[in-house]
Amino acid sequence: MTAIAPGTLPKSSPRGSAARARLLRGLLPALSLALVLIAIAWLNPRAISYFGFTLMLNLAIPIALATIAQMFVIAGNELDLSIGTFVGFVGCITATWLREAPLLGIVVLLGSIGAYALLGALIHLRNLPSIVVTLGMSFVWQGLAILVLPKPGGKAPDWLLSIMSFKPPYIPFPILAALLIAAVVHFGLMRTSYGVILRGSGGNAAALRRAGWSLLRTKIVLFALTGLFGVLSGMALIGITTSADANIGNGYTLLSIAGVILGGGEFVGGRVSPIGAVIGALTLALAASPLLTFMHIPPDWQVAANGAILIIVLAARVLISRRER
Amino acid sequence: MTSVRTLLEKPWIWSFAGALVVWLATVAFTGGYGAGGMVTAALSLAVFTVIVGVGQMFVITLGPGNVDLSLPANIGLASAVAMKVMGGSDSMIVVGLLAALACGAAIGAINYLLIWALRIPPIIATLSASFIIQSVDISYGRGLQIKPSPGFADFTNRQVLGIPVLAMLTVVFTIGAALALQRMIYGRSVLAIGQNIRAAWLAGVHVGRIRFLTYTLCGALGGIDGALLAGYFRGANVDIGNEYLLASIAVVVIGGTSVAGGKANVPGVWGAGLFLVLLLTMLNTFGVSAGVRLVLTGLIIVGVITAAGGEKAVR
Amino acid sequence: MLKANTDIVRLNGAEKHFGAVRALNGVDFHVGAGECVGLVGHNGAGKSTLMHMVAGTLRPDGGQIAVRGNQEASYSVARALELGIRCVFQELSLCPNLSVAENTRINHPSLAGFGWRRRAADLIRAKLDEIFPDHGISADDIAGDLSIGRRQMVEVARAFTLTREPLHLVILDEPTSSLDAHTAGQLLSFVRRFVEQGGSCILISHVLGEVLQNADRIVVMRDGKVVAADAANAFDRDKLVAAMGGAEGHQKAAAEARKVEAGALRVRARPARQQDDKELVARAGEIIGLAGLAGHGQTDLLLAIFSAASRAKAGIEVTAPVALVAGDRQSDGIFSQWSIAQNIGIRSLARLRSGLLISPQREAELAEFWKQKIGIRTPDMNNNVFSLSGGNQQKALFARALGSDAEIVLMDDPMRGVDIGTKLEVYDLLREEAAKGRTFLWYTTETEELDNCDHVYVFKNGRIVANLGRDELTEEKIIQSSFGDAA
């Protein structure tokens, strides 16, 4: 046994290919985005400009924020089916109380983040399926939104309007905002020492508990972060649309889930990527309407085209992954 | 006493208890007026949730991430297909129903094809499929107010001794579903896959075939549900299935089926279906506004699931 | 040897119940400073329960625990870590989505703030270098991408890393179960060095030789009690086995007497990466061993044969129904929601039907038959499968395969972490079934087990490098082939 030279040990080939596959998977969201951009550039070259991007990516900021919100719960192996109506609720508060009685508005929004934290605690302590709890909460947020703003209307606070219509030099605001969101969340979740604990709680909760960490705390933090980014998403949305409607955010639940998955995230195991999620959200925002308008898709079939794009992007992902093998 | 205790340990008992409490509260409010009629109405409406709920239950039992989000679009399209095939003529009822069944089954099969061929998580696959189905439905059913044949509309609304015929048939169907789940190779395989898909494969379960069957079954149930809904409400429209996305998931889980997969029960789907319908009846009876009704519905769903508690963690 | 009178940890009269099962029945146990205590016993004897108590992950129902002479009233994981007591659990406890360095961070609250990533990477790299000089693991590797052996190496190394918390006692629960002989040797010699420098260790292993050679003192457990405790040199292999009980009647020599007649061809398979014309051939009635270092393509070939049974596959010929006995029980074998009977019946559902429905009676009969035959220790086969100890869970998996219609049984290192009594019982059963004409393909990381095989294929880098008949079968020969240059 002593004569064995280290060099005779098996080479780490399976691990190397696993790492390569992961790298490529990590690049896929960016490739999908590039593909959609190329399609747009080909169909309408004038869209690829400062104003073109500002216009096309207008709604990308709230979508990206909602996707990040969804990503935090997914990192902890949960799912939030209420994020869409929550964004709508925040929108209604933003367009009414936050303008008319800022202090009350701020308190209510902070309270709603607190509600998310409590929900996390409840889900952990009672070992509840988050899908059902958030399904129930989606009714609650929608009901509250209707109570706050029974008819579409209201107006965004002026400071919010001016933030969202900010025109920085050279780089369109939505792109700048997306970069900022991705960088901040990537640092927080992927680089800090507590971010490791948060992701670990999705990877192997039992191991974390044995190492003395509180799983109640990780769940509360993850849900509170979801609430925080949900609030930001709702405010950003109203800053763009200027007025609110109780149903304004309903589509965001599915968009946010699709964004996380397009961005390379997985439903279980704490495998998520903030940068990927933001890219996934941008892809969805671009594919959703600008691309279809340029392609002259009749309104009846726009929804179908959305579905088809989602399928094509994912199919491309599978093809590339397979070739890698 | 022991029989009471075993009853209390059943995961589905809570949904029936909830339905009973809500019913009693409503009856207390009305002073006993319309108590029987309420049950009849609840049975008629619960049927539609139960049928898709059973399909959704089998899908969810396949394990984490398995869910069919295409049910609303499926129901909408199948209802249009069924009505168009029937064309208002009683002689075509069976053909129309078969058409709805086939349409739904095809959608289910396509769902699984997407999941299998593209290896997409089912949530995303069924979601993308539902977008496409929705468009097909919009363009297929454009401008048409499609009516069921008189005989079919009559059949879906018929009652015997205050009990809707559809409800009786659905009870028979759910007994069959319960047997399939617990006592047939198909059900055992679904439960095994839901607990551990790799272990199921290594234990000789035909994983691909069973998953295909399950998605197709769920689609077919959505299809037949669409036809029945169009008959009951005397007309098909694109939005007829909209509420069944949340409802189908809610009845499965309130009924005590585990969203983690591998553990399911059929009676709970009935209990939860009745509970949801009666809850709505109660809030309407109390005369609350739409906003309050939504908030209360949500809080009660959260409350019920909290009271029933999650499963004990496996080790 | 320094017989220090300072105990690191001492338990008096520790008791633990799980429902009606008494896992621990008044156990006195202690570990001194600078001592390596070997802990042996069959699965279900209470070793793991006892260790969970020492590590603070389980609260005793009765008795006291004292650390360095101080009674601990509210003992917990956090308290144990504070006092320098750590545990490497039998179930792997790395987060598969995190890197090796990030997994290290989880066990060290003080690895935070600026530059923590670099400090964590340095810490684990240094410890891996110290214990396993040729480990080939990078601190940036994602744990889930590593082979099971490498994951175990990381986990062991992590337990010995030192930051702010002290380190006095490390519990190693089956630390070599997924390691090959070479790395297991490296680990054990490190443990000796650690103990010589004043650290303490509890070593739990089913490989009795490891315990006899490396422990200073050995504690034997049986049925939730300590039945023997003495200096290691007071024991030998036979004495240990006798103290553990339950397996005295078995004769290892039984294997030698078996005569094999070549039956019909059952499996012919070439590994996907094989370049020459070597192939695996198995006939009816044969027990074929798959040997070599862990993770060199043995499991891959078994899985390829398994899928070839249901769908034709190039290079593999399978002529009879196949069943597989998984080694990684939790991820490949057990259905956690089900009873023992249901876990056994799943492979044989078609035969358990009467009409369209599965007959509960037939299912119960099948379960009862195998409960008797393979000796599954439980009051009721309708209990949840997790009510069984690890070894008995493994027996249920054997019952699943042997109770099926499969003529070919694939075994993927199934004896991982199984006690010796269970092993000897299963070996007998395998020979009995082979005599009836069943074919067994048996991948094992334990060289001793190959004695039960008729001939053995040695694997290296995904290829078959040698085919040894039973008369040429020696440990040296296998090791030679495993490390030698591929032909």
Ordered by start, the domain boundaries in chain A are 45-288
Q: Do C439 and C285 form a contact (C-beta atoms < 8 A)?
A: yes
Q: Is A20 on the interface with C (CB under 8 A)?
A: no
Of how many residues is chain C composed? 487
User: A146 to chain B: nearest residue by CA?
Assistant: B291
pLDDT at B3: 67
**Residue C186 to residue C199: CA distance in whole angstroms:** 17
User: Which strand ranges, in their side-by-side order, compose the sheet holding C439-443?
Assistant: C322-325, C408-412, C439-443, C287-292, C455-460, C463-469
A218-231 CB burial, b ≥16 within 10 A, e <16: bbbbbbbbbbbbbb
pLDDT one-digit tens code per residue, A183-195? 999 999 999 999 9
H helix and E strand count, chain A: 16, 0
Q: Indicate the residue among C222, C244, C266 that finishes a domain.
A: C244
Residue C1 lies in a domain: no
Task: Give which of C454, C408, C400, C398 is closest to C429, Cα–Cα.
Answer: C398
User: Which of B4-13, B19-28, C332-341 comes out lowest in average pLDDT?
Assistant: B4-13
pLDDT tens-digit readout, B166-208: 999 999 999 999 999 999 999 999 999 999 999 999 998 999 9
Residue A318's CB is within 10 A of a number of other CB atoms, namely: 14
Q: Based on the domain organization, do C347 and C205 belong to the same domain?
A: no
Domain boundary pick from C185, C212, C244: C244
- Does A304 contact C at CB distance below 8 Å? no
> Measured at the alpha carbon of residue A322, what is the angle toward residues A321 and A325, in degrees to the nearest 5?
95
Which chain C residue lies closest to B194 (C-alpha atoms)? C335
Q: Does A1 touch chain C (CB under 8 A)?
A: yes
Q: Helix A193-203 and helix A60-75: axis angle, to 10°?
A: 70
Among A26-30, A167-171, B65-69, name the one with the lowest average pLDDT: A26-30
Tell me the residue type at A2.
Answer: T
- CA–CA separation, C17 and C46 (whole Å): 11
Whether residue C333 is found in the same domain as residue C383: yes
Dihedral of the alpha carbons of C35, C41, C45, C49, in degrees to the nearest 10: 30
Tens-place pLDDT, residues A124-166 = 998 888 877 898 899 999 999 999 999 998 899 999 999 988 8
State the amino acid at position C174 in one-letter form: E
Chain B contact set for C337 (CB, 8 A): 191, 195, 262-263, 314
Strands (E), C179-264: 200-204, 217-222, 225-231
Cα-based distances in Å from B97 to B50, B56, B103, B206, B232: 18, 20, 10, 30, 14
Q: Which residues of C touch A11 (CB under 8 A)?
A: 461
- Look at A127 and B294 and tell me if their CB atoms are within 8 Å: no
Q: What is the pTM of this model?
A: 0.78
Strand ranges of the sheet holding C225-231, from the earlier edge strand across to the other edge = C85-88, C169-173, C200-204, C36-40, C217-222, C225-231
State how far the alpha carbon of C81 is from the alpha carbons of A213, B182, C55, C86, C375, in Å: 12, 46, 8, 6, 39
| C262 and C282 share one domain | yes
Of A136, A143, A254, the CB nearest to B302: A136
Please tell me which chains touch A, using 3 or more CB pairs under 8 Å as the contact test: B, C
CA–CA gap between residue B218 and residue B249 (Å, rounded)? 12
Structure tokens at A95: 């367009």
Interchain proximity A200–C98, CB inside 8 Å: yes
DSSP H or E run through A112? helix A102-125
Partners of B188 on chain C (C-beta within 8 Å) are 342, 346, 349, 358
CA C449 to chain centroid: 14
C331 touches chain A (CB under 8 A): no
Of B195, B204, B206, the CB nearest to C335: B195
Q: Rounded distance, CA C440 to CA C407, Å?
A: 9
Name the residue among B260, B250, B216, B225 with its Cα closest to residue B115.
Answer: B216
The Cα A194–Cα A214 span in angstroms is 12
In a domain, C412, yes or no: yes
Give residues with Cβ within 8 angstroms of B140, minimum separation 6. Answer: B77, B80, B81
Nearest to A211 by CA among C66, C263, C108: C108
Burial class (CB in 10 A: 0-12, 13-18, 19+), C389: buried
The shortest CB-CB distance from C97 to any of A8, A10, A199 is to A199
Which positions in chain B touch C306 (Cβ < 8 Å)?
A: 202
Alpha-carbon gap: A245 to the closest alpha carbon of chain B (Å): 13
Check if the beta carbon of residue A252 is closer than 8 Å to that of residue A285.
no
- Length of chain B, in residues: 315
Q: Which domains does chain B have, with CATH numbers?
A: 12-27+34-308 (1.10.3470)
Is C95 touching A (CB cutoff 8 A)? yes
Distance CA C116, CA C108 (A): 10
pLDDT tens across A6-20, in order?
A: 333 343 445 566 667
Please write the tens of the pLDDT for every residue from B73-120.
Answer: 999 999 999 888 888 888 888 999 999 999 999 999 999 999 998 887
Q: State whether C321 and C235 are in the same domain.
A: no
Is C131 inside a domain boundary? yes
CA distances from A125 to A128, A203, C109 (A): 8, 19, 24
Of C95, C136, C461, nearest to A200 by CB-CB distance is: C95
C4 interface with B at CB cutoff 8 Å? no
From the list B178, B242, B251, the residue with the least C-alpha distance to B19 is B251
What pLDDT does residue A314 have? 73
Contact A86, A234 (CB under 8 A): yes
**Total domains, chain C:** 2
Q: What percent of chain A has pLDDT over 70?
A: 91
B8 and chain A in contact, CB less than 8 A:
no
| Over residues B210-227, mean pLDDT | 95
Which chains does chain C touch, 3 or more C-beta pairs < 8 A?
A, B
Kindly report the average pLDDT of chain A as a whole number. 85
- Please check the confidence at residue A3 and state whether its pLDDT lies above 70: no
Instruction: Give the nearest chain C residue to B195 (CA atoms).
Output: C335
Q: Is residue C249 part of a domain?
A: no
Residues C16-63: tens digit of each pLDDT: 876 556 778 889 999 999 999 999 887 667 888 898 889 888 888 888
A148 vs chain B: nearest CA distance in angstroms?
9
Cβ-defined contact of B191 to C353 (cutoff 8 Å):
no
The answer, for A155 touching chain C at a CB cutoff of 8 Å, is no
Chain B residues with CB-CB distance to C323 below 8 A: 204
* Contacts (Cβ under 8 Å, ≥6 apart) of A6: C133, C134
Q: Do C326 and B183 touch (CB under 8 A)?
A: no
pLDDT of residue A17: 65
- Which residue range is the domain that position C181 belongs to? 7-244
Contact call for C77 and A18, based on CB within 8 A: no
Facing residues of C202 across strands?
C37, C171
Give the integer Cα–Cα distance in Å for A3 and C484: 11
> Which chains pack against B, by 3+ Cβ pairs within 8 A?
A, C
C354 touches chain B (CB under 8 A): no
Whether A207 sits inside 8 A of C57 (CB atoms) is no
Q: Which of C190, C223, C244 is the last residue of a domain?
A: C244
Contacts of C404 in chain B (CB under 8 A): 204
Q: With the C-alpha atoms ordered B165, B169, B172, B174, is the resulting torsion angle positive or negative?
A: negative
Q: Are both C289 and C213 inside the same structural domain?
A: no
Same structural domain, C197 and C122: yes
Instruction: Tell me which chain A residues have a C-beta less than 8 angstroms from the C-beta of C55.
Output: 210
* Regions of chain C where pLDDT drops below 50: 1-4, 247-257, 485-487
- Reported as a pLDDT band with limits 50, 70 and 90, residue A84 is very high
Would residue C292 count as lying in a domain?
A: yes
Kindly list the strands in the beta sheet with C21-32, ordered across the sheet, starting from the edge strand earlier in the chain.
Answer: C21-32, C7-18, C62-67, C70-71
- H-state helical runs in C107-160: 116-131, 148-159
**Count of pairs with CB atoms under 8 A, one residue in A, one in C:** 93
Predicted pLDDT at A2: 35
CATH number at residue C303: 3.40.50.300
